[in-house]
Amino acid sequence: MSPLEPFGTRLRRAMDTRGPLCVGIDPHASLLTAWGLNDDVNGLERFTRTVVEALADRVAVLKPQSAFFERFGSRGIGVLEKAVEDSRAAGALVLMDAKRGDIGSTMGAYAEAFLRKDSPLFSDAVTVSPYLGFGSLRPALDQAVLSGCGVFVLALTSNPEGAEVQRATASGGGSLAQLMLNHMADENAGADPMGPVGAVVGATLGDAGVDLDINGPLLAPGIGAQGATPADLPGVFGPAVRNVVPSVSRGILRHGPDAASLRGAAERFADEVRAAVDGA
């Protein structure tokens, strides 16, 4: 199969035309309950279908969290496969939030699961962890390029526990997170408008304190329920703010199950992000 148009090109176009926003599909048990659904596969399916039907034709990126589907076993994975297929058919880019990290053939198998075009879980991008060494990601990086996909690498995450690893001093000096960002910049060198390797940097960090000029997208979780707002983005990301893909989950999903309310919440967030970026 021939590769898609490069991921950076497709993401830039989606952000420019649909708005710079990623909406997480995170079917927490508490959200299913809040929607009046049972915490079972039927509830999972109804929740997921509602989100996809409401948003996939209008938001730039949908980000299903794989764990919330995996907990239901093979039937849950079936719901996830359908969500990926329907989201992409409606024009949304799908970022599989799987946070995979391993070595050798195992990393290669994860890459094939999410980034090979004939896989039932084929997505436009996947999240990965580099903390077995950036080189351990090579199978995913190579598969992404072959397929025209992207890889989002954990750098500085929004959970407070992450700092003990990510802010640790690397062997050559500087933080471990900065070392990973430098590797990402190397992978993206020369790409236009953006390379395929993105970084995950929490929007709750205040001043990130690192060089985020990686010539790639910057996924920014933490907006909404975790306390960050679109207005915080310029302060965290500085000159790289135009490449930020803010990620909102509960801040939008709590407006369900009414589809119009979900769409309205997504539009408001996207408008707020546009205003923050344009004013930076």
Going by C-alpha positions, the residue among 221, 248, 215, 192 that lies closest to residue 62 is: 248
Task: Give ∠ CA 122-123-125 in degrees, rounded to 5.
Answer: 135
Q: Which of 63, 82, 99, 117 is catalytic?
A: 99
DSSP for 245-272 reads EEEESHHHHTTTT-HHHHHHHHHHHHHH
Classify residue 123 by burial, with Cβ atoms within 10 Å: 0-12, 13-18, 19+: buried
Q: Is residue 117 annotated as a catalytic residue, yes or no?
A: no
How far apart are the C-alpha atoms of 275 and 280, rounded to whole Å? 9
Is the peptide bond preceding residue 217 cis, with omega within 30 degrees of 0? no
Contacts of 11 (CB under 8 A, 6+ apart): 60, 61, 93, 124, 150, 194, 217, 245
Q: CB count, 10 Å around CB of 181? A: 25
Pair 175, 211: CB distance under 8 Å: no
CA dihedral 24, 30, 33, 39 (to 10 degrees): 90
Active-site residue set: 99
